[in-house]
Structure 1
Amino acid sequence: MKEIWRTEVLTGIKTEHIRPWRDRILQLGEVHVNKSSRMGMNKMIETEKGAKSLMTECTVTVDGQDGFGFFIGTDTDRAEIMALLEALFKHQEEKWKPLQEEIDLWLEEWSILQDFKEDRRFRFIRKSLDQ
């Protein structure tokens, strides 16, 4: 269940803010990029007939643990970082526990900030409707 929460929080954070975590993972582990970030087209079933979206995906291995990253758009860095983070959080080795905990705390802070911004947006809408 925590994977879903992490993904939801990460989708609301700009790439430049999550990029330092990529560098930390690269410093601490043996990383292999199995399928480098590349763009492709994806059919959107829920939308209009024939609608397509541009997507970017990447697969990596961190100390033997596979990770997959997917991003709708052209941000190749983002797909790679998401793949690295997935591999990191799937790891069971003690070596990775401190970094996993550090990132989770960081994500908690972002989650609080995102919730505050969302609440503020709804308060503004409510205030506009009350007038």
Structure 2
Amino acid sequence: MADLDRWQYLLLMGACLALTLPLEWVLRARVYRRPLRALQAILVTVVVFSIWDIIAIGRGLWHYSPLYTTGIMLPFGFPLEELVFFIVIPLCALLTYEAVGYGLDVLTGLRRRRRTREDEDA
């Protein structure tokens, strides 16, 4: 079980991606179909929060448990899992945002069509 603990953080990120992936097709999020736009949105988060984390780690304000991380460290004591987090979570949020927007558009269109039919019947 201890070996699996080291992968918890990355497994959680994988689960987040797996749970939001269907939004691309089911609710037409169209995030993966526009990779440049997704990259632009995610890049800001990666840069800002990576700098934030590196500063906090350097000042000893926080650290990452070696029990729940793979031990793969990037420069400045920055764990690989944290970089993955800064990519995955914004991507999942973007998928969710776009899917909700599409769902609202569909609902609004349905309501609009229903009102139009009711007006015609009246």
Instruction: Tell me, yes or no, whether TM beats 0.5.
Output: no
In our comparison, the structure showing a higher alpha carbon Rg is 2
With structure 2 as the length reference, what TM-score do the two structures score? 0.35
User: Which structure shows the bigger proportion of residues in strand conformation?
Assistant: 1
With structure 1 as the length reference, what TM-score do the two structures score? 0.33
